[in-house]
Amino acid sequence: MPALTLSSSPAEHTNPLDLMEQIVGGYEWAFDRRNDSEMAAEAPGKWCDYGLYFSWSRELSGLHFACTLDLKAPAARRRALYELIALANERLWIGHFSLDQDTFTPVFRHAVLLRGATSVAQEGFEDMIDIALNECERFYPAFQFVLWGGKSPAEALEAAMLDCAGEA
C-alpha cells in the first residue's frame, strides 16, 4: 500500500486515522471510528483481547496510541504494580506502560509526531501496533504474577522474562 501523503501545513493534513482504519480492517479486527480524531479496535492476543485506541490531534500533528490489557488492579496491589511498571519501562525501547487512573488497567502507550512529515508509511503504523502487542504479550505474565500471584515486582519480572528452551 502506498504511503499516506501529508501536506506541510497542519491545517491541511490528511488524517492518519484513515490509514489506521485500513490497517486495522486488513487484520479483520473489530473497530469503531468514533469521530475524525478517535478510533477504537480490539486485537486478539495469547493472554487476552487488547483494546486499541488511536487519537489524532490536528493541532499537535500527533497520533497517540494506547493498548489496554484486560486486567484490573485491586487497590491493595497498585503500589506493587506501579513498581513493576517502572521496572518494565526500563526494558522498553519504544512506548511505555502506565496505569489508567479511571479503570486501574495497565496500558501500553506510544505517540508519534507527524509535523513536517511528507508521508506516513503504512509499515510504520503496522510496526507501532506490532510492538505494542508484542510488549503487552511479553509483560502480561508479570502483571498477572504481581496482581494475582502475590509475587514482588522484581520476582514477577524475572519469572516472566525467562526464555524457555525446547518444548514440553
Whole-number pLDDT of residue 57? 94
Yes or no: domain 4-160 corresponds to CATH 3.30.1460.10: yes
Domain spans of the chain, in order of start: 4-160
What does the alpha-carbon distance between residue 114 and residue 78 come to, in Å, rounded to a whole number?
Answer: 35
Q: Render pLDDT for 82-93 as a digit per residue (tens, 0 to 9).
A: 999 999 999 999
Measured CA angle at 108 (ends 103, 87), to 5 deg:
100
Count the Cβ atoms, other than its own, within 10 Å of residue 75: 7
Q: Report pTM.
A: 0.85
DSSP state letter for 112? E
Q: Tell me the per-residue pLDDT of 98-134, one tens digit each, with 9 for 90 and over.
A: 999 999 999 999 999 988 776 677 888 999 999 999 9
The pLDDT score that the predictor gives to residue 157 is 92
